[in-house]
Amino acid sequence: MVEITFISNGGKVVQAPENSNLLRVSLKEQGGIPFKCGGGLCGTCRCLIEQGLEHTDAVKPKERKHLTEQDLEQGYRMACQTFVNGDIKVSWQPRTAPR
């Protein structure tokens, strides 16, 4: 099992099997990562792996459509495209409510 800490959700910590999809874990455990499509098309689930980036899988082509090389170097990933193989800590910008 791996430990995922959702920093932007009050530091909520959950356990998940290795090779789990980050967005699916967030949905199942109410982690709070924002999303719309879940398929790498919209870019809504952009998040920052603050610790444990080395415990994520390779960057997918769909991620490169939403993230620059600089974003990737800083640790940004698309939660819907990211699989976790070790402990991580993740944060994101809360979505602002539409007015």
Q: List Cα–Cα distances, 82 to 49, 58, 96, 99, in angstroms.
A: 10, 8, 24, 31
User: What is the mean pLDDT of the segment spanning 46-63?
Assistant: 98
40 contacts 78 by C-beta, under 8 angstroms: yes
Q: Which pLDDT belongs to residue 36?
A: 95
Longest dimension (CA), the chain: 41
* Strand-pair category, 2-6 with 12-16: antiparallel
**What would the pLDDT profile of 27-41 be if each residue is shown by its tens digit?**
999 999 999 999 999
Spell out the domain ranges in the chain.
2-91
pLDDT beyond 90 at 45? yes
Phi, psi at 54, each rounded to 5°: -65, -10
Query: What amino acid occupies position 5?
Result: T
Nearest-angstrom CA–CA distance, 91 and 99 = 24
**What would the pLDDT profile of 55-98 be if each residue is shown by its tens digit?**
999 999 999 999 999 999 999 999 999 999 999 999 999 766 55
The CATH number of the domain covering residues in 2-91: 3.10.20.30
The structure tokens listed for 37 are 């499509």
Q: Name the β-bridge partners of 49.
A: 90
